[in-house]
């Protein structure tokens, strides 16, 4: 059962969603997640975008700093990978789950509901 977000957790999630608010970064995350094992070399990412290498590096850095990607240097290349539990958390917060909290204190009384029927 999911509970409402705390202030701290909402701030963390907002930072992640803000990073994904840029279409280029959203595409980059999707591209990386689509590769086998959810991992991609920067040499596979760059050709998919009509952007300079510094701009691509900046977008990848924003995704890393937001906690959506991790990376590892292997020789001269850097490999980026999604962090599945983080993506699951983003997905879960967007999913609806009714009945977690009691109904609204502002809900109409039974008499009002009958009058509206």
- For position 74, what pLDDT does the model report? 93
pLDDT tens-digit map of 13-63: 999 999 999 999 999 999 999 999 889 999 999 999 999 999 999 999 999
114 within domain boundaries = no
Please determine, for residue 102, whether its predicted confidence score (pLDDT) is greater than 70: no
CATH of the domain at 23: 1.10.10.10
Higher pLDDT, 88 or 117: 88
pTM of the model: 0.78
CA distance 63 to 23: 12
* DSSP letter assigned to residue 104: P
CA-only gyration radius of the chain, Å: 21
32 within domain boundaries = yes
C-alpha angle 16-3-5 in degrees, rounded to nearest 5 = 35
The bridge status of strand 69-74 relative to strand 77-82 is antiparallel
21 within domain boundaries = yes
**Number of separate domains in the chain:** 1
Owning domain of residue 64: 7-94
CA distance 40 to 31: 8
47 within domain boundaries = yes
46 within domain boundaries = yes
100 within domain boundaries = no
Mean pLDDT for the stretch of residues 100-106:
63
CA nearest 67: which of 83, 52, 51, 78?
Answer: 83
76 within domain boundaries = yes
CA distance 84 to 58: 22
CA distance 64 to 79: 12
pLDDT tens-digit map of 67-101: 999 999 999 999 999 999 998 988 888 887 665 55
106 within domain boundaries = no
């Amino acid at each position: 059962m999911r509970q409402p977000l705390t202030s701290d957790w909402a701030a963390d999630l907002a930072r992640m969603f803000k990073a994904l608010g840029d279409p280029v970064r959203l595409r980059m995350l999707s591209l990386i997640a689509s590769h086998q094992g959810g991992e991609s070399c920067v040499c596979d990412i760059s050709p998919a975008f009509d952007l300079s290498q510094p701009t691509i590096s900046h977008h990848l850095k924003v995704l890393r700093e937001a906690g959506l990607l991790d990376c590892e240097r292997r020789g001269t290349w850097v490999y980026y990978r999604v962090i599945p539990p983080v993506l699951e958390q983003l997905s879960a917060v967007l999913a609806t789950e009714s009945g977690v909290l009691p109904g609204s204190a502002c809900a109409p009384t039974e008499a009002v509901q009958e009058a509206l029927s």
